[in-house]
Amino acid sequence: QVQLKQSGPGLVQPSQSLSITCTVSGFSLTSYGVHWVRQSPGKGLEWLGVIWRGGSTDYNAAFMSRLSITKDNSKSQVFFKMNSLQADDTAIYYCAKNFDGYYAMDYWGQGTSVTVSS
C-alpha cells in the first residue's frame, strides 16, 4: 500500500536549516510528484512546493529563496531543505503524494513537528 514516512529533527535553532526526508513506498517517484505542505499551530495549511516525477520543481514564491526540494528515485526518497528558519517557521511539515491528473494530494506523510527555538 502507499505510504510516506517522514524523518527529521523536532527542534531547530533560529537561523539554522531544516532537513526532512520523505521515504515513499507503494509507488514510484518516477510516476508521481510529491508536495510539501506545512501547518502552523492553530492555523491552516500552507503549500510550500512540489517535485514532479521528471525532477522539475515548483515553489511557493514566498519561500523560493530558502527552499530546496530534491529526490533520489532509486532510494524512493524526497529531500526537503529550508534555510534560515525563524520562530514563525514553527509548524508541522508534511509530504504528500500528488493525485495524478487532478492536482490534489491523495496520500500524506505522518507529519514532522518542528519547533524553532534556541
Contacting positions for another protein (CB under 8 A): 35, 43-47, 58-62, 94, 96, 99, 102-106, 108-111
**Which of 3, 73 has the CB closer to another protein?**
3
Using the minimum distance from each CB to another protein, give the nearer residue, 91 or 109.
109
> Which is nearest to 89 in space by CA: 35, 22, 41?
41
Smallest distance from the beta carbon of 74 to another protein, in angstroms? Answer: 26
Contact 97, 48 (CB under 8 A): no
In the bound state with another protein, the residue whose beta carbon lies nearer, of 73 and 99, is 99
d(CA 21, CA 71): 9
Dihedral over alpha carbons 79, 24, 90, 88 (to 10 degrees): 60
Three cell numbers, residue 47: 503549500
The residue among 62 and 87 lying less far from another protein, judged by its C-beta, is: 62
**Smallest gap, in angstroms, from Cβ of residue 115 to another protein?**
17
